[in-house]
Chains A and B, each alone.
Chain A
Amino acid sequence: MNEAGPQEVARVTPARAIARAIFARRGARLGLAWIALVALLAVFAPFLASSQPLLVVGEGGFASPVLNHLAPEDGALLGVFLAVLVAWRLARRPRVALVTAAGLVTVALIASHTLLEPPRLVAHEQPRQTVAAGDWDWVVWAPVPWSPDDYLRDYGHTGLEAPLEAAPTRVHWLGTEAGGSDLLAGMIHATRVALGIGLVATGIALVIGVVIGGVMGYFSGIVDILGMRVVEVVEAIPTLFLLLIFVAFFGRDLYLMMVIIGLTSWSVYARYVRAEFLKLRQQEYVQAAVVAGLPLRSILFRHMLPNGMAPVLVTASFGVASAILAEATLSFLGLGPVDTPTWGRMLDQAVQSSTFNWWMALFPGGAIFCTVFAYNLLGEALRDAMDSEAA
């Protein structure tokens, strides 16, 4: 008589319920919106800030200099973006979505590396000169008509300029950097590093941490004891100093940085997954899976992992934020990647000359702050959502 019928909410899968709980929080929506904006800027950076016109129309027909200057990674990013969109549309059939997305990314990678061949030497002044010479009837410029590596050689003047202070012939909304390039253009292109370093470094750490932590937690005993000693050793390595050493020996490579941050930060995830698995092992539904004779693979990945990922995901979103900060710190110290624009490197220029260049501090600093804050908001909302789900 106490057995009430199942309620209608029952058809909602647990993952969907958590997603819904996250979206119900204002902080999470704000954080997600900022990250989505940064992601869009990263994907469409060459079309948003470029010294090459988007479209030129003249007597000989029309052309798109921007497309001719696309680099392979620009094309790859666009492919990934398309894949994510398609996967989103097919979210109801996860397996189809995954396969389609993976296929699209592969095709995009191959196509962009074979088809896209930007000129090795780019003369950024050239389109401005041809337009000035009246070679084209009609020109569509990018919203920010400067490339991040366009040092304005045709203007003769280089150096730091405060926002909107330059000569009347050019407009720099956020001012210019030390080399003379446009700050806004640089910031738009730097979103790629900001997003990439956080996601890739955290991704590497997650994979290592989940595998090692899962093995420690499930087998426990001697495996666990040895594993925990490895974790303690890794935790004793100071990431920042290791990064400094590697930069000194192997040069300033962005990918190397991602790998090092990933390799030194997995211990947190391993600890969490281990603790969760130790707890889950005792759960009766895991015991039931063992009694049913299910293979180890299914017990670990279907019955245990999804129930133990909650604290890991929460920590991961904070981990993304700290990876971004680590890169910014390095770049600020002047040890960041050389040719890639990053927010940290721009921040560095705020104090480089004898004067305080406020725009170089405010805008890149604000961007770093907002991104780190957005990931923290997301992590916070994720934790609240998981807690209320568990209750």
Chain B
Amino acid sequence: MELTVADLRVTFPGAEEPAVAGVDLTLAGGETLCLVGESGSGKSVTALALMGLLPGRARMSAGILTLAHGGGTSDLADLDAEAHRRLRGRRMAMIFQEPMTSLNPVMTVGEQVREVLTIHQPGISAAEGRARVEAVFAQVRLPEPNQRYDEYPHRLSGGQRQRVMIAMALVAEPDLLIADEPTTALDVTVQAEILALLRDLQARNGMGLLFITHDFGVVAAIADRVAVMRRGAIVESGDRQTLLREPRHPYSRALLDALPERRPRPAGPKPGVEAALEVRDLAVHFPVRRGVLRRTVGHVRAVDGVDLTVRRGGITALVGESGSGKSTVARAILRLERPTTGSVWWEGEDLARLDGAELRRRRRHLQAVFQDPYSALNPRLSVATMLTEPMAVHGLGRDAADRLARARRLLELVDLPADSLDRYAHAFSGGQRQRLGIARALALEPRFLVCDEITSALDVSVQAGILDLLLRLRAEEGLSLLFITHDLGVVGYLADEVAVMEAGRIVEHGTTDQVLRSPREAYTQRLVAAVPRVE
């Protein structure tokens, strides 16, 4: 098999710039090409163009766009919709990012995969099809393929669903597999398994793999060759070693330099020894209710006996996989959730015991920045209102004019233009929104900041700016931070101490160097080993 693309262009009507502006690439059988770039660089549009899945209003043109496969050579630019459809699945297949929504919830996963098979090989009998699907399930290492066949998607975990998606892509034995960020929504340990699986399957089937990602760690783990995309064009391509070690193009260099694990840890003030915030034996149990009367039949122990200390002026990272309870710890500290037992000591007071007006007064000192830059800002409030309302409630600033002046200084502090005050959230990019979220948290002059996955939705170059902003604020304002993340690269760059959570408990707590370099607990060792690294 051989994929050849020359001068591929895609434009959307009404857009100022083409989404894809002259992409050239080649991919041979048994080879993995990683297409890397930040959001909006045109990687996914390129994949959709190859698959013939572009929306109808898009305009596509190409110098060459051919796929040589087991059944001859097809000119992908010239195919009509029906011919393209026959090629999809049989000769080329695609895996998407979101395993939770990529499967039909009312069909068993086995039938969904078998449907793909019978469409491309109509002669196949039901029993034979089932056997083939179970064989592919075994190939993608789904446990007990015979039983999995009759399961509905909601019974499978995210990793298992992604395995079903891969099985669906592979069942008709395509020559070319396109994977669009297939592991971005998964935990690192699951990601490591899926990447190993893809490498393995490719070695066995000899297919070409076009792998789209924004994560250089993943690139280092899977690519043979790498192409860096920016604004619809490939700025640099080469084999993995050369590109990761000696990038020639300034953009690839800037991208790689923005990786937190590649940047030298900045020298900052040493955190104090005394604790700013102490969490003791914290537990948060959610009742499970059933029936008409909503009787409590059990509890989900989201957080189950957590001890945690954040030092004055220090940054403590709380890491763990999804569902480990790290966000619930943050919500309990902020009293968005009432702790079931345990205490949260802040300046000699137990926040877990406070209520009403007492609690509202203390809230000023502990502020939060949230994960999703798009839902964290109220779309109906101007930036000025967003920043000054909390000030007015807590009696900061002499009058409205003084509060506006403070808001202007806050914007300056987070490097946003001062004329942002009368704008609304939709006018800002993801990174700018996250800066606004930080400005809003700082409006109350807090001394403690909880950051819950605040960079996980951002591109690396934007993330670098946000991380440096946090370090600067720590140095200038003397903030203490609890930084929740699943990205160990960010932890190594930012944190003084790390606490590792698993299933509602903290399994390891120590300095960043100790936990990341020589983890003591088995779970931490597995977690650290699963993180794909650029080195």
A contact set with B: CB distance below 8 Å: 1-7, 9-15, 225, 283-285, 287-295, 298, 302-303, 306-307
B370 CB contacts on chain A under 8 angstroms: 284, 287-288
B368 CB contacts on chain A under 8 angstroms: 287-288, 291
Q: Which of B365-419 contact A (CB under 8 A)?
A: 366-368, 370-372, 375-382, 389-390, 393-394, 417
Name which residue of chain B comes closest to A286, CB basis: B378
Name which residue of chain A comes closest to B294, CB basis: A225
CA distance A3 to B360 in the complex (A): 35
Given that A284-B372, A287-B336 are contacting pairs, would A292 and B444 also be in contact in the complex, using a CB cutoff of 8 Å? yes
**B380 and A306 form a contact (CB under 8 A):** yes
Q: Does B361 contact A (CB under 8 A)?
A: yes
Point out the residue from A9, A11, A15 that lies within 8 Å of B422, measured CB to CB: A11
Point out the residue from A225, A291, A298 that lies within 8 Å of B363, measured CB to CB: A291
Q: Which of B3-46 contact A (CB under 8 A)?
A: 38-40
Q: How many B residues touch A, CB cutoff 8 Å?
A: 52
Name which residue of chain A comes closest to B450, CB basis: A291
Closest CB in chain A relative to B264 CB, distance in Å: 20
CA distance A1 to B235 in the complex (A): 16
9 residue pairs bridging A and B, Cβ less than 8 Å apart: A2-B431, A3-B429, A284-B371, A288-B440, A292-B363, A292-B367, A295-B360, A302-B389, A307-B380
Given that A10-B424, A284-B372, A293-B363 are contacting pairs, would A307 and B378 also be in contact in the complex, using a CB cutoff of 8 Å? yes
Point out the residue from A1, A7, A12, A291 that lies within 8 Å of B336, measured CB to CB: A291
Point out the residue from B336, B363, B424, B429 that lies within 8 Å of A13, measured CB to CB: B424
Name which residue of chain B comes closest to A303, CB basis: B378
Given that A3-B462, A6-B420, A303-B378 are contacting pairs, would A293 and B431 also be in contact in the complex, using a CB cutoff of 8 Å? no
Closest CB in chain B relative to A130 CB, distance in Å: 61
What 1/0 mask marks residues of chain B from 80 to 123 whose CB sits below 8 Å from any chain A CB? Answer: 00000000000000000000000000000000000000000000
A295 CB contacts on chain B under 8 angstroms: 360, 393
B362 CB contacts on chain A under 8 angstroms: 293
**B461 and A2 form a contact (CB under 8 A):** yes
Name which residue of chain B comes closest to A1, CB basis: B461
**B394 and A293 form a contact (CB under 8 A):** yes
Complex A-B, nearest 7 residue pairs according to Cβ-Cβ distance, in ascending order = A10-B427, A293-B363, A284-B370, A292-B390, A293-B360, A6-B427, A284-B376
Q: Does B459 contact A (CB under 8 A)?
A: yes
Closest CB in chain A relative to B481 CB, distance in Å: 15
CA distance A289 to B443 in the complex (A): 12
A284 CB contacts on chain B under 8 angstroms: 370-372, 375-376
CA distance A5 to B428 in the complex (A): 7
CA distance A284 to B451 in the complex (A): 12
**B375 and A10 form a contact (CB under 8 A):** no
Most-contacted residue by chain A among B372, B393, B422, B441 (CB, 10 A)? B393
Name which residue of chain A comes closest to B391, CB basis: A292
**B393 and A6 form a contact (CB under 8 A):** no
Given that A6-B428, A293-B361, A298-B389 are contacting pairs, would A285 and B422 also be in contact in the complex, using a CB cutoff of 8 Å? no
CA distance A68 to B314 in the complex (A): 82
Name which residue of chain B comes closest to A290, CB basis: B336
Q: Does B432 contact A (CB under 8 A)?
A: yes
Given that A3-B462, A287-B368, A288-B376 are contacting pairs, would A294 and B390 also be in contact in the complex, using a CB cutoff of 8 Å? yes
Given A285-B375, A292-B389, A293-B364, 4 further pairs, Cβ under 8 A: A285-B377, A288-B440, A291-B334, A293-B360
Name which residue of chain B comes closest to A12, CB basis: B424
Q: Does B299 contact A (CB under 8 A)?
A: no
B417 CB contacts on chain A under 8 angstroms: 5-6
Closest CB in chain B relative to A313 CB, distance in Å: 14
Closest CB in chain B relative to A250 CB, distance in Å: 38
**A1 and B254 form a contact (CB under 8 A):** yes
Given that A291-B368, A293-B360 are contacting pairs, would A2 and B462 also be in contact in the complex, using a CB cutoff of 8 Å? yes
Given that A287-B368, A288-B368, A293-B360 are contacting pairs, would A2 and B459 also be in contact in the complex, using a CB cutoff of 8 Å? yes
Given that A2-B39, A292-B444, A293-B360 are contacting pairs, would A14 and B294 also be in contact in the complex, using a CB cutoff of 8 Å? no
A287 CB contacts on chain B under 8 angstroms: 336, 368, 370
**B378 and A2 form a contact (CB under 8 A):** no
Given that A291-B334, A292-B367 are contacting pairs, would A10 and B431 also be in contact in the complex, using a CB cutoff of 8 Å? no
Q: Does B426 contact A (CB under 8 A)?
A: yes
**B375 and A294 form a contact (CB under 8 A):** no
Name which residue of chain B comes closest to A285, CB basis: B378
CA distance A3 to B465 in the complex (A): 10
Q: Which of B40-79 contact A (CB under 8 A)?
A: 40
Given that A2-B459, A5-B417, A292-B367 are contacting pairs, would A10 and B426 also be in contact in the complex, using a CB cutoff of 8 Å? yes
CA distance A226 to B222 in the complex (A): 56
B429 CB contacts on chain A under 8 angstroms: 2-4
B444 CB contacts on chain A under 8 angstroms: 292-293
Q: Which of B130-157 contact A (CB under 8 A)?
A: none
CA distance A231 to B434 in the complex (A): 40
B367 CB contacts on chain A under 8 angstroms: 291-292
A293 CB contacts on chain B under 8 angstroms: 359-364, 390, 393-394, 444
Most-contacted residue by chain A among B294, B379, B420, B465 (CB, 10 A)? B379
B381 CB contacts on chain A under 8 angstroms: 302-303
CA distance A289 to B378 in the complex (A): 10
B254 CB contacts on chain A under 8 angstroms: 1
Name which residue of chain B comes closest to A305, CB basis: B380
